[in-house]
Amino acid sequence: MTLTERYSSVKNTIPPGVELVVVSKKHTVEEIKQLYDAGHRHFGENKVMELMDKKDLLPTDIQWHLIGHLQTNKVKYIAPFVSLIQSLDSAKLAAEIDKQAKKCNRIIDCLLEVYIASEETKFGFDFTEAETFLTNELSKFPNIRITGFMGMATNTSNIEQVKLEFRSLTDFYKKYEKALALKHLSMGMTSDYKIAIEEGSNMVRIGSAIFA
């Protein structure tokens, strides 16, 4: 299958109301343009400098998502244009995003990255930390809008474990959905997005199934 055929095949597996973010990291401007020409607009990149290299060579109406770990010293590069930062993983990073957003006269949409997997990770809030941030810290950052949560399940063949991990974040999302007017629950990648959707995800991040 061609790139656009694989894209269409994946797109057909995603129900209405679920946003597909095509993970374009390590892929070329030409490949992204093919998918743009096929009608796609939401693309996710892991690394700021790779995103910057691509952005100026592609149409300006692309909605860029930063989905990888974001270092505070790189925020200034994407603050003027990024559509959604999916990896807000600390109060320190929130302070920098707020600072750079203010300089750009913007309110930047962000997802709290919440740690749900059993694997060790360097990044993300656990549920207690996320609750503390939302309750006590968020009001300090007027140029940040939390529009939802992002989580990654354990990389395991144990489907029941993956379901439970996704479900735990869905339950947490529902707890704050109305109070914070949340709209994005970003869960699921190529290997597990169908499970994530079953468990409540309304945004999936898919790369290898499309660019294979």
Sketch the domain layout of the chain as residue ranges.
3-211
CB 80 within 8 A of CB 101: no
pLDDT the model gives residue 128: 97
Q: Which amino acid is at 111?
A: L
Cβ partners under 8 Å of residue 129, min gap 6: none
**206 backbone dihedrals φ, ψ, rounded to 5°:** -125, 125
For the structural domain made of 3-211, what CATH number should be given? 3.20.20.10
Distance between CA 130 and CA 135 in Å, rounded? Answer: 8
pLDDT on residue 198:
98
Q: pTM value?
A: 0.97
What are the per-10-residue average pLDDT scores of the chain (212 residues)?
Answer: 96 97 97 98 98 97 97 98 98 98 98 91 90 97 98 95 98 97 98 98 98 86
∠ CA 187-193-199 to the nearest 5 degrees? 65
**pLDDT for position 208:** 96
SS3 call for 187 = strand
Residue 120 has a pLDDT of 77
Residue 151, H or E segment: strand 144-151
Are 151 and 114 in contact by the 8 Å Cβ rule? The answer is yes
Nearest C-alpha neighbor of 145 from the set 195, 88, 198? 88
Give the pLDDT of residue 118: 86
H or E element at residue 111: strand 108-113
